[in-house]
Amino acid sequence: MSPRIVLITGANAGIGFATAKFISHACKDFHVIIASRSLDKAQQALNDINSDNLSTIQLDVTNQSSIQQAAAQVDQQFGRLDVLINNAGIMSRDDDIKTRMQANMDVNVVGPAVVADAFRPLLLRSQNPYSIYVSSGLGSLTDAADPTSPTYNSFSNVEAYRASKAALNMLMIQEYAFFGTKGLKTFALDPGLVRTDIRGTSEEARTGGGAAQDPEVPAQAIFDIIQGQRDADVGLFVHKDGVCPW
């Protein structure tokens, strides 16, 4: 039996790296493709994980040619894709609102949309395809409009990031609406507050003031999804313990 093929964008660090490591170590029935803008960083991630069911590919989510070439390479090498994890993302808090809006939208919305479009034909060749978008609880419109929510008054210059994750959730909804009937199982995942560099490289930023969890926590949640344990929640915005409000 051939392994299930998984591609993770932005897999050289953070949640993407933790997910590649978790899946490749937890189950040899998967082959994980570490996709990264930098092939050198992808290779370093592969070396650090040290598993025989990994490969690398160059993929820049802001470069359509790079995305198309990566899809063609996966097609040529494997002929299909079983799991696409749209993980690559940024949190730009630039002082200029136009700059931070464009940066967040380009990487967090336009990029995943183009990636999903390029790889969807390969997903639809799978007998059990999954498309997962790594979103954020900050993208919940329900929580953003609720004065009692802890994210109602979020930190400064984060509206662009929040808008981008809300838009990403809409991409997932639309993908499921159009392709769920063809067997594509789509999810948006809130990974929670995670210890990564997305908020900055200082210890305070990385750890969320000590409140952040290890990236292995959302990695486990993603693994549960692709193992079919969350199929009852297909088409929804989920977290490790349940479903998030839109």
Could you confirm whether 165 is annotated as catalytic?
Answer: yes
The bridge status of strand 242-243 relative to strand 83-86 is unpaired
pLDDT of residue 196: 61
The average pLDDT across 126-149 equals 97
pLDDT-above-70 percentage for the chain: 93
**The pLDDT of residue 205:** 44
CA torsion angle 191 193 194 199 (round to 10): 120
Q: Which of 165, 176, 182, 185 is catalytic?
A: 165
The count of domains in the chain is: 1
Which of the four pLDDT bands, split at 50, 70 and 90, describes residue 228? Answer: very high
What per-residue string of b and e applies to 90-109 under the rule 16 or more CB within 10 Å gives b? bbbbeeeeeebbebbbebbb
φ, ψ of residue 242 to 5 degrees: the values are 170, -145
Among candidate residues 21, 41, 130, 161, the one labeled active-site is 161
Check which CATH number belongs to the domain holding 239 and give it.
3.40.50.720
**pLDDT tens-digit readout, 37-71:** 999 999 999 999 999 999 999 999 999 999 999 99
Confidence (pTM): 0.93
Supply the pLDDT for residue 211.
Answer: 66
Q: Specify the higher pLDDT residue, 195 or 97.
A: 97
41 is catalytic: no
Domain of 114, in residue numbers = 4-243
Distance CA 178, CA 214 (A): 34
Q: Considering the chain, what is the average pLDDT of its residues? A: 93
156 pLDDT higher than 90: no
